[in-house]
Amino acid sequence: MITQTYLSELFSLDGRVALVTGGSSGIGRAIAGALARAGASVVIVARKEAELAATVDELTADGCRAAWVSGDLSTREGVRAAADEAARTFGEPDILVNCAGVNLRPPMGELGEDVWDTTMALNLEAPFLLGQRFGPGMAERGFGRIIHITSQQAHRAFVRSGAYGVSKGALESLARSQAEAWSPHGVTCNTLVPGFVMTPLNTQLSSDPEKVAALAARTLIGRNGLAEDFAGAAVFLAGPASAYVTGQSIFVDGGFSVH
Ligand SMILES: NC(=O)c1ccc[n+]([C@@H]2O[C@H](COP(=O)([O-])OP(=O)(O)OC[C@H]3O[C@@H](n4cnc5c(N)ncnc54)[C@H](OP(=O)(O)O)[C@@H]3O)[C@@H](O)[C@H]2O)c1
């Protein structure tokens, strides 16, 4: 079938290995599922074993190839150990998705060094270290895809952006540096930029119906994001079709950023 072949040439991830941090919940879980269903062998990394196992069970029940590694990505040793274990599972990854993140929101005047350090370690340093660990190998093999998940707070202050907005702004800069280094060798590096997405990260905000409605009204589509909204964009950025897209920040936000 010509349609099937055409779509496969553009989007199939058959034979690829993907590592998705934060792949056990919210946006990361949806992205891990999308990459696995598009043909990749997917390893997800997070801390809580029950959520990791439930995600992998769901994917394997669907006939996908998936595995999990439990690790704390907020320390350098944790990142190294998780990366090594993940790479032992299906081999060195062709696709790296950095989705694990925290959003701690003390008022700016009360933002202490502990919150700053935790935020930078998980949201910025782990993606940097994983890039250093896997980027050169991707470049050597002539194919790679690095996808970071940032935030509209990389672009504007929003509800106590504090350290979080800084970490996400820097992550978009990191994507451009990685793109500069490795794009000539077939490794594209991009970020997906969510607006407000209904996930466990946002329990406090999303349990307030008035705030949820006000945020939905700020989009052009008229609703807040769902984790599944990231599936198609992730498959695109992970696959052959996006070979000429690099160093970009792609907003998946229902038009929030242009309203
Ligand atoms: N939801 C939104 O509105 C929104 C908006 C903009 C950007 N984002 C970004 O999107 C990404 C995913 O957010 P989400 O809303 O999907 O959040 P989520 O549902 O809370 O998922 C966070 C994931 O990160 C993992 N994680 C947290 N701390 C970790 C650590 N120290 N080591 C390893 N893994 C860790 C969690 O698993 P464990 O707890 O088991 O470790 C979980 O899998 C984040 O980078 C976030 O900043 C979200």
- Rounded distance between C-alpha atoms, residue 92 and residue 72, angstroms: 20
With respect to residue 143, please indicate whether it lies within any of the assigned structural domains.
yes
With respect to residue 257, please indicate whether it lies within any of the assigned structural domains.
no
Domain harbouring 130, CATH code:
3.40.50.720
Confidence class for position 206, pLDDT limits 50, 70, 90: confident
The count of domains in the chain is 1
Which residue type occupies 113? Answer: E
With respect to residue 201, please indicate whether it lies within any of the assigned structural domains.
yes
With respect to residue 204, please indicate whether it lies within any of the assigned structural domains.
yes
- Rounded distance between C-alpha atoms, residue 119 and residue 116, angstroms: 5
| Mean pLDDT score, 59-66 | 98
What digits encode the pLDDT tens for the residues 82-130?
999 999 999 999 999 999 999 999 999 999 999 999 999 999 999 999 9
Q: Is 122 in the pocket of ligand 1 (CB under 6 A)?
A: yes
Q: Is 119 in the pocket of ligand 1 (CB under 6 A)?
A: no
| Mean pLDDT score, 132-155 | 98
**Catalytic status, residue 164:** yes
Which among 168, 201, 204, 207 is the best mutation to test ligand 1's pocket, defined by most ligand atoms within 8 Å of the CB?
201
pTM of the model: 0.98
With respect to residue 258, please indicate whether it lies within any of the assigned structural domains.
no
Q: Is 33 in the pocket of ligand 1 (CB under 6 A)?
A: no
Q: Is 135 in the pocket of ligand 1 (CB under 6 A)?
A: no
CA of 184 to the centre of ligand 1 (A): 31
Q: Which residue has the tokens 């970020």?
A: 191
Q: Could you tell me which residues are beta bridge partners of residue 66?
A: 42
- Rounded distance between C-alpha atoms, residue 170 and residue 131, angstroms: 14
With respect to residue 259, please indicate whether it lies within any of the assigned structural domains.
no
| Displacement of CA 255 from its chain's centroid (Å) | 20
| Mean pLDDT score, 152-162 | 93
Structural domain harbouring 133: 2-252
Query: Is the per-residue pLDDT at 241 higher than 90?
Result: yes
